[in-house]
Structure 1
């Protein structure tokens, strides 16, 4: 016996990836519904590579009564309106938007990092999926934090355009093409040209000069990993279609060598250590696409601080940063609480 599962935002980049991941991992499903806005109602969408297609249903008329789990990936406004309705109908919501992440009554979960926190889901029947950049970072940091206790994190991200949705991917493609053929190139989705450029600006600016994306990494890391950790983030959009990269500098309370860190990361859940000190002995975004792991490379000691390390972290943001993490949360929920199938 399986679960009755709803994917909200099924026609978007992450929604489609959720359907792929559900199929690949053979999540126990009794019935599956693909739900989106009225614009997509009646469209057909593939359920991974199973050969099955699903007819898209209208979120405005969908009744969540009798459904077990709803995976939401349709943005904050949709989650704000419909997640409470699903929860009130007895359907557990796993939400990929930022709307509920800092709600003290909503667990913010990365299954490899803080699985026990899911036990608080009954307060609102909603579980939050973290920001894509936060998710991959805390997977890499958790085993190191357990060993030597991280005091401070300084991270610079190199985030792909898929983090801005299909419109972001289309803009990179169109601008790149336009440059080669000599056509005009006006930014629409991004604030400046993204093709052959980098933009140190993701989401809106806050009063202190940081962006909301940077603020998310700070507060979400504290909620998921440890409220005492100090975090400083600089988030940059780069002309890569899929895959977020991060340069991470860590300061620990206790001594830890690069060799010790490599040994720990080699055995850590969700981490793939690829760290050869030679040409090509590291992972780049192109190589991580389609994989669920968080790849770590370039682990080395930082001599400018006591007990310092630096590392490079890469992951498919549509997978571990969103769809896979949401499905892993659903699997965790099933094991610990729902226990069907």
Structure 2
């Protein structure tokens, strides 16, 4: 007997990828329900050759749902996820709303699937950039320990949603076809829709993703710091991030520097990464082989290369990490969590509601 799976935010960039990942999933599914805003209700989207009618997301929309995949924004998760839990569903939330809640496991299945065993009805997906970094670093942490992580990201505009993609393509057209000077291009979304100023991303790089916090790091950077410590269950790891938006449509790239607790030989590090589930080693400088965003698009794996010793620190290692931010960074990780819930026998009604109904 299969499950009834709901996707909240089914019409969004991540929601549509969730549909595709469910089609390819090993999860036993009897029925898929697609939930979205009132304006999308009544329209249809395909699933396994059938047209599924989109329903409006409401407080009563989760009756009979076993697993609910949320990717419709933090406010939607805050409002409706507790109602899904109350109805007996397990929520896999792809927003940032529950990530630092101590009652909510934060899961990358290849890294810490065990943490979902004590779930209280809601399981959170980490930030897209955190997920791919965890895949690259967990095999190193297991063998040599991690003392410090310094990461600089090069994040695709699809991470900011469909409107950001359209704005980027529009700016490229303005610049190339119409001859508009890049700094004069129209911008109203990036670097952050909710902030005061907006800048063109075409032919540019914006050292801001999300708004700034009081310590001058952005929320995106603090997410990577705090989520890494929670997933790896180690508050002693020193983590610092600089998150940058670049004019790439899909595929996040990261320059990651780490300091291990024990000295690690580079050939052994490469082998550990190559053997780790979900990781693919692409590292042959003699043949100019290293991870590239355009090659990662449409792939579920995380690609790791340019692995090399720091020239001045015996425990320092540099690497380059790339993944499809809409798949492993979001939709695929969510579906993997659902598969893991099934495999671990954890899809069951929750008896105690720990989350406030709003």
TM-score (norm. length: structure 1): 0.96
- Matches of 1:66 and 1:51, distance apart in 2: 23
State the Cα RMSD in Å. 1.2
Would the aligned equivalents of 1:38 and 1:60 in 2 still touch at CA under 8 Å?
Answer: no
Check if 1:22 corresponds to 2:30.
no
Q: Tell me how far apart the structure 2 counterparts of residues 321 and 62 of structure 1 sit (CA, whole Å).
A: 29
Partner of residue 2, structure 1:
2
Q: Which has the bigger relative contact order, CA under 8 A and spacing at least 6?
A: 2
Distance 1:339 1:188 in 2: 42
**Aligned mate of 1:182, from 179, 182, 206:** 179
1:132 and 2:133 aligned: no
Equivalent pair of 1:72/1:97 in contact (CA under 8 Å): yes
Following superposition, the deviation at residue 187 of structure 1 comes to: 0.9
Q: Distance in 1 between matches of 2:60 and 2:167?
A: 33
- The CA distance in 1 between the partners of 2:72 and 2:51, in whole Å, is 20
Q: What per-residue deviation string (whole Å, max 9, x for no partner) do you get for residues 201-237 of structure 1?
A: 0001011110000000000000001222110000000
Give the distance between the partners of 1:136 and 1:7, measured in 2 at CA: 23
Please give the residue correspondences for 1:1-341 in structure 2 after superposition, counting only pairs within 5 Å. 1-47=1-47, 50-60=48-58, 62-122=60-120, 125-180=121-176, 181-183=178-180, 185-190=185-190, 191-225=198-232, 226-338=234-346
* Structure 1 SS opposite 2:35: strand
CA-CA distance at 1:338 after TM superposition: 3.8
Note the C-alpha offset of 1:269: 0.7
Q: Structure 1 residue 65: deviation in Å?
A: 1.9
Structure 2: distance between partners of 1:20 and 1:236: 28
Structure 1 stretches of 4+ moved >2 Å: 60-63, 337-340
Task: Note if contact 1:136-1:321 (Cα within 8 Å) is conserved in structure 2.
Answer: yes
Residues 113 and 139, structure 1, Cα contact 8 Å, conserved in 2: yes
Contact 2:158 2:165 in 1 (8 A): yes
How many Å separate the matches in 2 of 1:301 and 1:4? 49
Following TM superposition, by how much is the alpha carbon of 1:27 offset from its aligned partner in structure 2, in angstroms?
Answer: 2.6
Q: What's the CA shift for 1:53?
A: 1.7
With structure 2 as the length reference, what TM-score do the two structures score?
0.92
Q: Give the whole-Å Cα distance in 1 for the aligned partners of 2:17 and 2:288.
A: 29
Inter-partner Cα distance in structure 2 for 1:303 and 1:280? 21
Write the distance in 2 (CA, Å) between the matches of 1:238 and 1:144: 28
Shift of residue 54, structure 1, vs aligned partner = 1.0
What SS does the aligned partner of 1:305 have?
coil
Q: 1:171-213 CA deviation, whole Å, 9 max, x = no partner?
A: 1100000101125621111121100110000001011110000
Are residues 54 and 61 of structure 1, via their aligned partners in 2, closer, same or farther at CA, if it must alter by over 3 Å? Answer: farther
Unaligned runs of 5+ in 2: 191-197, 349-358
